[in-house]
Homo-oligomer: A and B are copies of this chain.
Amino acid sequence: LDRQQATKFRQQFLNFHVHEQALIFVELNLIQRQRLYRYLTSAKVAAIFNELDSADVTSAYFKEMAPKYAAAVISAMYTDNAVDMLETAAAADLSTYLKYIAPKKAATIRKLLHYQAKTAGAIMATEFIKLTGDQTAAAAMQLVKLQARQAEIIYYVYVVDQMDRLTGIVTLRDLLTAPGESSVAQLMTSPAVSVKVDDNQEDVARMISDYNFVALPVVDADEKLIGVITVDDAIDVIDEESAEDYSGLAGVDIDEQKDNPWQAAFKRLPWLITLLLLGMSTASLVAHYDQMVSEASILAVFISSITGTAGNAGTQSLAVAVRRLADPEADRRSLGKIILTEILTGMMIGLITGLAIMLIVGWWQQNIVLGFVIGLAMFCAIIVANLAGSLIPLLMDKIGVDLAVASGPFISTLSDLTSVLIYFNIAKIFLQFIISD
């Protein structure tokens, strides 16, 4: 009976595209998953695991299997994906799996596990096709045919010298259209565009995107070819990094979808409470000017206008600065010039916004001094907010600190403080005119 069921299940399940199989897989419970391991070969499970979304990648699945079956699945996966899954495995489990895996593959996995997260080494695959430049196109095509099943990428053949150093790249397109007897050295593009194993994954992904590559070779410190990064990994990296920037601007992990309300709340609360405490400094500043507010309660009316507008302006500067850092190719001006541009932009914005609110307040409250105070405060507050919004991310990047998770709310909360400080100090000077008017 079990056998009949298995056959039926296999037929139906394997009819789905492997990406859809992966989508179904992550919805199964433990009992269903263990039945699936029993019904499917390790190669089919490996294909599913190759397709898992990065959020679903975990070594826990291997723990549910017999170690030998787990090892077979790991062996059948592309090394980069297997390494991603094994990253969370306990050392003891890892050793058990690797015991059952062919020594060469096991050694590669061990090596890849040592590369630092978020570098080229951590996302590269080791299944690629390479040969030396003295081969002919026909021999190269023969090699491609032989290795087509194992290689993660067959669209490029990498040319190396005797020391295994990368010297050029031949596309499968070129091999297909070239006369069989032409030498690979003639056909290849040289020097080859490549990245170093410790390069940042975001830079690598940007490069693949900018050059429209399907894959990019990775070399070690001695220029030896050790891996390739494929475009599907580059998309994941770009997506992940832009999600991080976006999360930073909002002060929340935007990939929290699968959390329940308690988990979501406890992920969002730390930043809200931190910012609330930081915001208390703004409150205590207002409290410090309590006497002035009692005398001229009209001052309280415009606190939120000034903090709100300066906060918005600061967030705009921040967003532009963060984008500039993410895509350095888009702007190759010097740091000084970039900052000068931001200051001038801030002054322009401050001037026009300040004039606007001066006229509005002057007309509404029939008090031109009050209008002038609000306008001047807004002018200064916006310039400060713009400078903070553009300088803070640039400085953090210069000293090598990654942007804080909540850079957006942090800038606007900081800008609340400086805006109120500027506002009350300007108001203090003109207080007698505001009241007497």
Q: Mark A247-281, 1 if CB is under 8 A from B, else 0.
A: 10111101111101110111011011101100110
Contact B409 A315 (CB under 8 A): yes
Give Cα distance in the complex from A319 to B322, angstroms.
17
* A-B contact list, 12 entries, CB within 8 Å: A208-B235, A254-B323, A257-B330, A261-B345, A269-B353, A271-B312, A272-B309, A273-B352, A275-B309, A275-B312, A312-B413, A315-B409
Contact B420 A304 (CB under 8 A): yes
Contact residues in B for A357 (Cβ distance below 8 Å): 276
Q: What 19 new A-B contacts, CB under 8 Å, besides A214-B214, A290-B301?
A: A154-B172, A238-B238, A246-B249, A249-B250, A249-B319, A255-B323, A257-B323, A257-B330, A265-B349, A268-B349, A272-B316, A272-B349, A273-B352, A275-B308, A275-B312, A282-B305, A303-B303, A311-B412, A312-B412
> Chain A contact residues: over half helix, strand or loop, or mixed?
helix
Contact B239 A209 (CB under 8 A): yes
Candidates B245, B273, B305, B345; contact of A283 at CB < 8 Å: B305
Give Cα distance in the complex from A257 to B323, angstroms.
9
Report the contact-size class of chain A (Cβ under 8 Å from the partner).
Answer: 35 or more
A232 close to B (CB within 8 Å): yes
A210 close to B (CB within 8 Å): yes
Contact B320 A302 (CB under 8 A): no
A198 close to B (CB within 8 Å): no
Contact residues in B for A66 (Cβ distance below 8 Å): none
Give Cα distance in the complex from A330 to B238, angstroms.
17
Give Cα distance in the complex from A279 to B409, angstroms.
18
Give Cα distance in the complex from A236 to B238, angstroms.
10
A212 close to B (CB within 8 Å): yes
Known: A176-B154, A243-B323. A268 touches B360 (CB 8 A): no
Closest beta carbon of chain B to A144's beta carbon, Å = 6
Contact B247 A319 (CB under 8 A): yes
A286 close to B (CB within 8 Å): yes
Closest beta carbon of chain B to A314's beta carbon, Å = 10
Contact A279 B300 (CB under 8 A): no
Candidates B23, B272, B313; contact of A312 at CB < 8 Å: B272
Contact residues in B for A315 (Cβ distance below 8 Å): 250-252, 408-409
Candidates B264, B304, B312; contact of A304 at CB < 8 Å: B304
Contact A341 B260 (CB under 8 A): yes
Give Cα distance in the complex from A254 to B294, angstroms.
42
A234 close to B (CB within 8 Å): yes
Give Cα distance in the complex from A279 to B353, angstroms.
13
Contact A210 B268 (CB under 8 A): no
Contact A297 B304 (CB under 8 A): no
